[in-house]
Amino acid sequence: MLNYFKVVILLFIAVLFSCFNLFAEQQDEVDPITLEFQRMDADKDGYIVSEEMRMYEEQRFRELDKDKSGFIDSKELSSDKTKMYENADTDKDGKITKTESISQFAEYFKQMDKDNDNRITEEEYTDYWKGIYRF
């Protein structure tokens, strides 16, 4: 009887661990657009306001400006997986300045904020990017 009890306990533990793995795998499958939204939503209130977007943009600019020149050149730009900077080079000199980058993100914000309430919901954000990129 004791061996039967041990087998039941071991089976229970095995099932419990497999459930933890199942939940962990589900978390890994979060849509990349949703992950990007969550990174921007600094206060985790479910909205992105222009200040959060500006702060995020400044962080991304620093990350992409590998040589710390104050510009993102074409080589650095090619490492940007989101492609959010493609339209930022407004003077078409092959470099993106911090001013151009901030300006582009401000334009993105206006385009995403469909109801003009100065907040971007996750739905507005994902609708915008899904309209541009077909997933």
pLDDT digits (tens, 9 = 90+) for 65-100: 889 998 888 777 776 655 666 678 888 888 888 888
> Do 2 and 37 lie in a common domain?
no
If one counts the domains in the chain, the total is 2
> Do 40 and 6 lie in a common domain?
no
> Do 54 and 82 lie in a common domain?
yes
DSSP character for 49?
-
> Do 48 and 26 lie in a common domain?
no
Threshold 0.95, pTM exceeds? no
Mean pLDDT of 52-65: 88
> Do 81 and 44 lie in a common domain?
yes
> Do 75 and 112 lie in a common domain?
yes
> Do 36 and 26 lie in a common domain?
no
Domain that holds residue 8: 1-30
Instruction: Tell me the Ramachandran region of residue 6: left when phi exceeds 0, alpha when psi lies from -120 to 50, beta otherwise.
Output: alpha
Q: What does the block give as tokens for 21? A: 């793995």
